Amino acid sequence: MLTLDGLVVEQEGFRLEAGLAVPEGAICALLGPSGAGKSTLLSVIAGFVAPAAGRVSWQGRDLAPLPPGRRPLSILFQDQNLFPHLTVAQNLGLGLRPDLRLSPADHARIDEALARTGLAGLGPRKPGTLSGGQQGRVALARALLRRRPLLLLDEPFSALGPGLKAEMLDLVRGIAAETGTTVLMVSHDPADARRIAPLTILVAEGRALPPAPTAALLDHPPPVLAAYLGK
């Protein structure tokens, strides 16, 4: 279980409070108007931004002392998820050993992950030669290899067309189900939430509310969400 306990985030002219828990294995969307702090909240959980108060814990363990790379999570950003000068296989390899001193067994696992994400045979290519969808799959394959119990998605697929995006979300759902991964996903499209996230955290007016069932929330939105959804 991911717990945000009396969390306060402060940045120049911006404040966000959060007190909530996300059950293990859940897929949970973060919805809310832009600028509400959805990405910032993920940054705090991932360890890039230090909270002004409160704590983030996973299975009861405070994450504060851990640097981002040691936290039990993987994160996919909006862009720059891959190093353009490294091959696809090397980019995946970073998920296993950040120093890239890979054993034959590691290479086998990389090939396996490539196959699982529909990228078989693309290992030697550089990311620049791949399509947007393929790049997203590489990033997901790496998250798969890292086997961290928590996956944070900061709109990594927002640049993809609707069809491709749906495909990627389904891939996320499949992988999460297989591995029991807990997923937190920032989105500004309610359809994304409906598609794979049974739970939704509403981030608005300086607060992140505890997760609520997505369908109910979207069918009967509170006023702030209604305004955002244009209802």
Partner 1 sequence: MARGPVAIDRGAIWPGLAVLALVLALVLGPLALVLAQAGGAGAITAADWAAVRFTLWQAALSAGLSTVLAVPVARALARRRFAGRAALVTALGAPFILPVIVAVLGLLALFGRAGILGRALTALGLPPVPIYGLQGVLVAHLFLNLPLAVRMILNGWAAIPPERFRLAAALGLAPRDVARLIERPMLRATLPGVALSIFLVCLTSFTVILIMGGGPRATSLGLAIYQAFRLEFALGHAASLAALQLALGLAATGAGLMVLRPAAFGAGRGLASLAPPADPKWLARIADALAIALLALFLALPVGLAALAGLAHLPGLEAEVLRAGARSMVIALAASALATAGALLAGQAIAHLPARSGRLADAAAMLALGVSPLVIGTGAFLAIRPFADPVRLALPVTLLANALMAFPFALRILAPDLAALRADYGRLSQSLGLTGRARLRLVTLPRLRRPLAFAAGLSAALSMGDLGVITLFSDPAQATLPALLYQRMGQYRMDEAYGISALLMGLSFGLFWAFDRMGRKDADA
> Interface with partner 1 by CB under 8 A: which residues?
10-12, 43, 46-50, 52, 67-70, 74-75, 77, 80-81, 83-86, 90, 94-95, 98-100, 126-128, 142, 146
Residue closer to partner 1 by CB (options 22, 150) is 150
Question: How far apart are CB 88 and partner 1 at their closest, in Å?
Answer: 12
How do 182-186 and 27-31 pair as beta strands?
parallel
Residue closer to partner 1 by CB (options 44, 176) is 44
CA–CA separation, 228 vs 5, rounded Å?
27
Residue in 231, 196, 89 with CA at minimum distance from that of residue 97: 89
The first and second tokens of residue 55, run together, are 């704590």
Residue closer to partner 1 by CB (options 61, 85) is 85
Counting every residue written for the chain, the total comes to 231
Residue closer to partner 1 by CB (options 156, 190) is 156
Question: How far apart are CB 82 and partner 1 at their closest, in Å?
Answer: 8
CA–CA separation, 116 vs 109, rounded Å?
10
Residue closer to partner 1 by CB (options 39, 117) is 39
Angle 176-182-188 from CA coordinates, rounded to 5°: 90
How do 27-31 and 199-204 pair as beta strands?
parallel
Within 13 Å of residue 10, how many CA atoms lie on the same side as its CB?
Answer: 4
- For residue 221, give the amino acid letter: P
Question: How far apart are CB 44 and partner 1 at their closest, in Å?
Answer: 9
Question: How far apart are CB 97 and partner 1 at their closest, in Å?
Answer: 8
Assess contact for 92 and 110: CB atoms under 8 A.
yes
Question: How far apart are CB 191 and partner 1 at their closest, in Å?
Answer: 27
Question: How far apart are CB 152 and partner 1 at their closest, in Å?
Answer: 9
Residue 15's H or E segment, with its range, is strand 14-22
Residue closer to partner 1 by CB (options 128, 163) is 128
